[in-house]
Structure 1
């Protein structure tokens, strides 16, 4: 799923992160995932062994689950690497 618009987005994100944060830094990811154990576990696996704190909350009807992932990362490239991995999980919305 590598295309010009996502590359441009990640380039702008990296510039913004370099400008607004000191590294290493804690970074908070927020994702909305269809409530599906396989998809939730796939995202959790991306953050395995990173020291990430993952909180999840189901929507009122249970159709979606929000995941908040806080993890200490070395630099903006690490942030973007995780976003690219999560983007491979079908149906995930990154906030």
Structure 2
């Protein structure tokens, strides 16, 4: 599973983390809406393809940027999501990509 930044998941059950995230999303967002995702991953073409595939059935816009040394790519994605479950589902799909860091 990928590392999640901005949340201390060490020693935490991933399902408990996603359950907590869902609750926070429901408290702070008015779904359906555009939701902003940010990811960093190794600068490998296959990783970018996997990211596109995770958002395949979602209306989204994406912008990418190479790191200064070109070792990594950052991706900012704005996706139209229906509810908190949809947000969590997309995070789970992306978490299956080796080496991705979710911000």
Q: TM-score, normalised by structure 2?
A: 0.86
Pick 1 or 2: higher relative contact order, CA cutoff 8 A, min separation 6. Answer: 2
User: Quick check: which one's helix share is greater?
Assistant: 1
- The offset of 1:8, in angstroms, is 1.2
- Deviations 1:30-84, CA, capped at 9 Å, x for gaps: 0001000001110011112422101100000000000111011000100111111
Greater than 3 Å deviation, 4+ residue runs? none
Question: What secondary structure, in the 3-state scheme, does the structure 2 residue paired with 1:11 have?
Answer: helix
Q: Equivalent residue for 1:24?
A: 32
Aligned to 2:19: 11
3-state SS, counterpart of residue 55 of structure 1: strand
Match of 1:92 in 2: 100
Q: For structure 2, which runs of at least 5 residues remain unmatched after alignment?
A: 2-11
Please say if 1:50 is aligned against 2:53: no
1:62 aligns with 2:70: yes
Question: What's the Cα RMSD here?
Answer: 1.4
Secondary structure of the 2:53 match is helix
Specify the SS of the correspondent of 1:14: helix
Tell which deviates more after alignment, 81-90 or 4-13: 4-13
